[in-house]
Structure 1
């Protein structure tokens, strides 16, 4: 049962943690996309927009080299924990990256991909292995005299919290992971490392059955009253203090919390569009920069990382493919002031981006062999990104023929307009007439960028726990294509 009031000693410790240090607004960038900006373009974009820190889902040499001398604080990711089995391997991992530690501002090393999801998927051995890697990496950093600057840690999500809470004071970690969580918290405290949380507000709004207006700072029609007079008017401070409460209940009331990921999709979601994302960040970023803090931590700076710099159309979860500020052509999708000043501005565009020729691959309308149309549609979507035609998305109003064309063109663009990629057993052709509609853009992608040095390890699904919203594409597409016979 949740505590009714904060124990006095913990409340005192929380209030004493108030600081005048400015909050950091960072940006995340990953490589789960068919068309990628090269690392130097990423660094240039961040510098143009006044971004002081970045979290990258990689630790590859080409990326680290690009950040050397930039002055941008960097958080790396050690994805493949299976090769970091013992201390010696972790020490080699650190030593290989020592030149970049010397010449760039590395802050953190994230271990694995949401390791506590393993613990929620009946894989405690996998979670324990990730914890061992984290301990050994930190020891290796300490032994290399980088432990004061660089911290090894995990990222955490609301999946680790008990569901069905109605206010932050009811929050606590799930019983099945509490022993490992307590051990992790003691490790973070010992090494003066932060507790990093990844927030995806559309998920939390659905999980806790909150009013949609609760997503937007300063606009909510819903007010939640909690113990000790705490009042919550937006999902960000609600979730932040839910984590504070969960930490209090495991005797870690002073542990710093960093928001390592927060964003809103611009597509593939019922309320996912550019104007909504713009509205979301217009309220959020000035709030985290204001030093207002939250009811439990008033005045505390909240370091916050915007997710993400670009769309990632190879992410396995379709819902997560549209969180980018930028399209693959380096143009911003909406206004956002990454300095936190709340200015009504578009971020700077990427320089040196070249588009492919203006041509598209489309369906020729031949309905004679429906099973073949179905087969080719499935193939195109499996090997590209058809999430924008799912219900509630930007291209959901296309006709069945247009949906097939959209899928064919996405595959064609994923293959950088290789003409052999527009065959589909004779069901397609290349055109220079733009098939886009007023609401749905058939994209032309950019010229081939850097495709090497890519590594992805999928996040395990936690059985029996809340999963993120996901665009259901395949059955929806097939049902519409089936309608071809009736048109």
Structure 2
């Protein structure tokens, strides 16, 4: 299977020293970078007979092609004629080394009643160093905003489409054409993965999607091949951590769930053979929340220098100090047990909610996510996979229109609030703090509250609250949540305001049988924030999808350096 060369590649000779039957050959290292904001990495080593050195340019060209997806970017192969190229390469790498923040990945969910505009969300991602985004469905506004942004996209095909795509390859081809080819060619979206389904083998689904998943994956792969996108776009299947287990609690004893062992091995083998990856969703929060006796410290990443948790798991010579490492390595052990240890495993979802449950709060989320970001930035993986994989943080933003079947916390996973404001301080690469979204426009600064002369015991109040919370999000009123300590009047006012804002503050949306009134005095109390909704009709379009100043500067430096090299280096 051929490999696709990234944007910039430099080839330089590395002569072999000493007596060797290979001394009649010349070694050339091909070193590439995927973009102006990434590092050089060794992609290939070519061993050529010295008699063929004069033809090395055509040789390299036959084995490497460049794909440049961003307008204005340079796509050049530079064949350097002396070993001094190594010095130039190091200089070039040093020039490009300076970048805004370490690359991060996030889940961008769109189940919000008032979604943050796509262009603002893309800028939020880029301003905070996220260069990868995962979408659960082909949302047109999000995909168009991601065009020419430099952000790599994992695009989801929802579970409800698995049956149709599995049963008919033409349906897969149509989906790929409409949602992949269209956005790649027309909008310049850098789609790298198609995520077929989302946790389709989840126990609670009771086998609903099991029969359709692998055929759907095979048909989507065939559709990508037919569309000429299989080298650029790979397939994956995000799975829940309940697809594997360890009967004795040690990661090394990991194996697939008995009822899906054959299905898992067939699926992973197909992904491996077709160049795909496996995505796993790991949620230490759910482990803690589901078991009152779960050791709390074991759910978090240990602070540097801190003693290991008493709940740490000794597995041979390895001490597992947190549930993430143990969980991830349980999967790796299961894969290795079935001869599938070569598959790349990315983390499709991981995070901590801030509301809707006693264990979901700002302090806990900050502790967990700071530890997670520290691990990502440091590149520290697990005992079985020492290099940190791609990790898609769940989630970028809160989604107030998600189902609460898993729990009231389900709408509060965002690192950022609904409007792109940070929920808590986080330190990213080089100590940089996360920054809020720019250009957000809001509705008028007014709230809907219970009238001062209205009685909270009025029989009409119960019906009014039920109506308000049927069409708006009231999960923050849950016991132990950010608004769980409000008094009766506060609870009623919060519900009224949520409905009022959800209805865009329209006339008549703050009536409730004359129980409510509009106020310009912020009724927020303590940790309970009475929101003002995003104005869907007002937005700042001045920035759009343009690259940040740092990215443009890096690209300019790249052009200068490459042009200089072309002028002075013998090719």
TM-score bracket relative to the smaller structure: 0.7 to 0.9
**C-alpha displacement of 1:305:** 0.8
- Residue 366 of structure 2 is aligned with which of 264, 278, 294? 278
- Residue 356 of structure 1 is aligned with which of 424, 443, 461? 443
In the alignment, which residue of structure 2 is the partner of 1:108?
Answer: 193
TM-score, normalised with respect to structure 2: 0.70
CA contact (8 A) 1:120 1:177 kept: no
1:418-468 CA-partner distances (Å, limit 9, x unpaired): 132222233222222222112311111111269xxxxxxxxxxxxxxxxxx
In structure 2, runs of 5+ residues without a counterpart are 1-40, 44-96, 539-571
- Residue 118 of structure 2 is aligned with which of 16, 29, 39? 39
In structure 1, runs of 5+ residues without a counterpart are 1-18, 451-487
SS in 1 for 2:235: strand
**C-alpha displacement of 1:234:** 1.6
- Residue 298 of structure 2 is aligned with which of 214, 230, 233? 214
Matching of residue 366 in structure 1 with residue 451 in structure 2: no
TM-score, normalised with respect to structure 1: 0.81
CA contact (8 A) 2:201 2:207 kept: no
1:168-200 CA-partner distances (Å, limit 9, x unpaired): 234333222222212211111111211101122
**C-alpha displacement of 1:312:** 0.5
Aligned-pair Cα RMSD in Å: 2.5
After superposition, residues 452-471 of structure 1 pair within 5 angstroms as none
In the alignment, which residue of structure 2 is the partner of 1:66?
Answer: 145
Matching of residue 90 in structure 1 with residue 172 in structure 2: yes
In 2 relative to 1, CA 56–449 (structure 1 residues): closer, same or farther, beyond 3 Å?
A: farther
**C-alpha displacement of 1:368:** 5.4
SS in 2 for 1:419: coil
**C-alpha displacement of 1:367:** 4.2
SS in 2 for 1:417: coil
Q: For residues 333 and 246 of structure 2, what CA distance do their matches in structure 1 show? A: 14
**C-alpha displacement of 1:95:** 2.2
Matching of residue 142 in structure 1 with residue 225 in structure 2: yes
After superposition, residues 286-365 of structure 1 pair within 5 angstroms as 286-298=374-386, 300-317=387-404, 318-338=408-428, 341=429, 343=431, 345=433, 347-364=434-451, 365=454
- Residue 242 of structure 1 is aligned with which of 330, 346, 352? 330
**C-alpha displacement of 1:24:** 5.5
In 2 relative to 1, CA 122–109 (structure 1 residues): closer, same or farther, beyond 3 Å?
A: same
Q: For residues 123 and 205 of structure 2, what CA distance do their matches in structure 1 show? A: 40
Q: For residues 303 and 443 of structure 1, what CA distance do their matches in structure 2 show? A: 34
Question: Which is richer in strand?
Answer: 2
- Residue 430 of structure 1 is aligned with which of 513, 518, 526? 518
In the alignment, which residue of structure 1 is the partner of 2:503?
Answer: 415
CA contact (8 A) 1:223 1:231 kept: no
In the alignment, which residue of structure 2 is the partner of 1:8?
Answer: none
Computing the radius of gyration from Cα coordinates, the structure with the larger value is: 2
Q: For residues 231 and 450 of structure 2, what CA distance do their matches in structure 1 show? A: 58
Greater shift in the superposed pair: 31-40 or 94-103:
94-103
**C-alpha displacement of 1:140:** 0.8
In the alignment, which residue of structure 1 is the partner of 2:273?
Answer: 190
Q: For residues 360 and 269 of structure 2, what CA distance do their matches in structure 1 show? A: 39
CA contact (8 A) 2:110 2:139 kept: no
CA contact (8 A) 2:279 2:347 kept: yes
**C-alpha displacement of 1:122:** 3.2
1:342-378 CA-partner distances (Å, limit 9, x unpaired): 6251x222122112112111223324543x3222212
Q: For residues 244 and 269 of structure 2, what CA distance do their matches in structure 1 show? A: 18
**C-alpha displacement of 1:77:** 1.1
Q: For residues 243 and 212 of structure 2, what CA distance do their matches in structure 1 show? A: 18
SS in 2 for 1:426: coil
**C-alpha displacement of 1:139:** 0.9
Structure scoring higher RCO (CA < 8 A, sep ≥ 6) equals: 1
In 2 relative to 1, CA 196–205 (structure 1 residues): closer, same or farther, beyond 3 Å?
A: same
In 2 relative to 1, CA 122–218 (structure 1 residues): closer, same or farther, beyond 3 Å?
A: closer
Q: For residues 123 and 457 of structure 2, what CA distance do their matches in structure 1 show? A: 51
**C-alpha displacement of 1:145:** 2.2
CA contact (8 A) 1:74 1:106 kept: yes
Greater shift in the superposed pair: 235-244 or 81-90:
81-90
Matching of residue 26 in structure 1 with residue 100 in structure 2: no
In 2 relative to 1, CA 120–246 (structure 1 residues): closer, same or farther, beyond 3 Å?
A: farther
Greater shift in the superposed pair: 436-445 or 274-283:
274-283
1:245-266 CA-partner distances (Å, limit 9, x unpaired): 2223333222211011111111
**C-alpha displacement of 1:129:** 1.9
CA contact (8 A) 2:295 2:311 kept: no
Q: For residues 404 and 351 of structure 1, what CA distance do their matches in structure 2 show? A: 32
**C-alpha displacement of 1:336:** 2.5
- Residue 445 of structure 1 is aligned with which of 497, 508, 533? 533
- Residue 56 of structure 1 is aligned with which of 135, 141, 150? 135
Matching of residue 168 in structure 1 with residue 251 in structure 2: yes
1:85-129 CA-partner distances (Å, limit 9, x unpaired): 411121122223314334232111112232112x653335x3222
In 2 relative to 1, CA 278–176 (structure 1 residues): closer, same or farther, beyond 3 Å?
A: same
In the alignment, which residue of structure 2 is the partner of 1:123?
Answer: 207
CA contact (8 A) 1:329 1:354 kept: no
